[in-house]
Amino acid sequence: MILSWKVAIVPENQQSYPNSTIKTLMTRRSIRRFSPEPIEDDTIVWLERAAQQAPTSRYNFGWSAIRITDPDLAQKLADIGKQKYIAQAPLLYVFLVDLHRNSRISQGKGVSPAEATAFHEQYSYNESHNDAVLALHAMETAAESLGLGTVVLGSLLNDMPRLVELLHLPELTFPVLGLAIGKPAQQPALKPRMDRSFQFFDNAYPEDGDNTNLAEALTDFDEKVHQYYDLRNAKKPVDRFTDQVAQKATDPLPAQRRFSTLMRQQGFTA
């Protein structure tokens, strides 16, 4: 109770934080330009250990990550993502759903592939996907806490079949997200967040029935977003959030981003 009272009175531009972990989380923003300096080996070990220490559903360790050290491969990933900073990041990982390892472990214990149906279930996929995201986030936060910059890379999923091919992903694995890490070579402003009342509810999801037009209710937030400058295109103000949402609502999803075919190819029930 005391904590929520404190949080409630903290102004938005608060410069002092209850501790360094919260400061790290509250000052995080995506970094898309990195200094070419390599990341020290010791640091990499801590980042990987932090990812491994993340919670893992049913103690499954249902995820793996591939570190990309080959510059040609990094360039191919940047081509898929259409983002040149992917190839410029000194440290680059692709996090995966990985039930292949547990399938092999169970085979080593005498369970035949035909018997091991559980690995192929959508639930198992989802569980491992959650694990992978939590591990990535732990690595991201660890990196931020050390003064490094990061950006999560969903753009690698622009062409999932190609990613599977380039990374030689076997059955029961699936790409989740990339994470680029490096010393920041830019200082972007914090990107605005909507008021917490739009994202946090008490006990149940609020009824729609009060005729609130959510797009109108978000006018103040829209203005903040419009005033934010994205360093990727600093000359153009960012579109209002509600306009972005409406525009994305009708964006067609390219075939290479559709899950079901590739899910089946990788051995999951789709």
Ligand X SMILES: Cc1cc2nc3c(=O)[nH]c(=O)nc-3n(C[C@H](O)[C@H](O)[C@H](O)COP(=O)(O)O)c2cc1C
Residue 184 Cβ vs ligand X, minimum distance, rounded to whole Å: 12
Q: State which of residues 94, 177, 225, 263 lies at the interface with ligand X (CB under 6 A).
A: 177
- 104 part of the interface to ligand X, by CB under 6 A: no
Nearest alpha carbon to residue 153 among 30, 29, 65, 64: 30
Helix ranges restricted to H, the chain:
2-9, 20-26, 41-52, 71-81, 85-88, 100-108, 122-145, 160-166, 214-217, 219-227, 241-249, 259-265
- 256 part of the interface to ligand X, by CB under 6 A: no
- 155 part of the interface to ligand X, by CB under 6 A: yes
Q: State which of residues 89, 151, 164, 172 lies at the interface with ligand X (CB under 6 A).
A: 151
Alpha-carbon torsion angle 57, 151, 237, 78, nearest 10:
-120
- 24 part of the interface to ligand X, by CB under 6 A: no
Residue 113 Cβ vs ligand X, minimum distance, rounded to whole Å: 32
Residue 81 Cβ vs ligand X, minimum distance, rounded to whole Å: 6
Which residues, other chains included, contact 35 with Cβ-Cβ below 8 Å and sequence gap of 6+?
90, 182, 183, 184, 185
The span of 58-66, 149-157, 216-224, 251-259 binding ligand X (CB under 6 A) equals: 149-157
d(Cα 61, Cα 97) in Å, to the nearest integer?
Answer: 10
The span of 25-33, 54-62, 209-217, 220-228 binding ligand X (CB under 6 A) equals: 25-33
Residue 238 Cβ vs ligand X, minimum distance, rounded to whole Å: 9
d(Cα 189, Cα 27) in Å, to the nearest integer?
Answer: 9
- 18 part of the interface to ligand X, by CB under 6 A: no
Evaluate whether 145 touches 20 at the Cβ level (below 8 Å): yes
In order of 64, 148, 173, 251, the CA distances from 67 in angstroms are 10, 17, 15, 32
- 29 part of the interface to ligand X, by CB under 6 A: yes
Evaluate whether 174 touches 266 at the Cβ level (below 8 Å): yes
Residue 198 Cβ vs ligand X, minimum distance, rounded to whole Å: 16
Q: How many residues bind ligand X (CB under 6 A)?
A: 12
Per-residue x/- track, 83-102, ligand X (CB under 6 A) = x-------------------
Residue 145 Cβ vs ligand X, minimum distance, rounded to whole Å: 16
Q: What share of the chain is helix, strand, coil (3-state, %, to 5)?
A: 50, 10, 40
Question: Contact residues for ligand X (CB under 6 A)?
Answer: 29-30, 32, 81, 83, 151-155, 177, 191
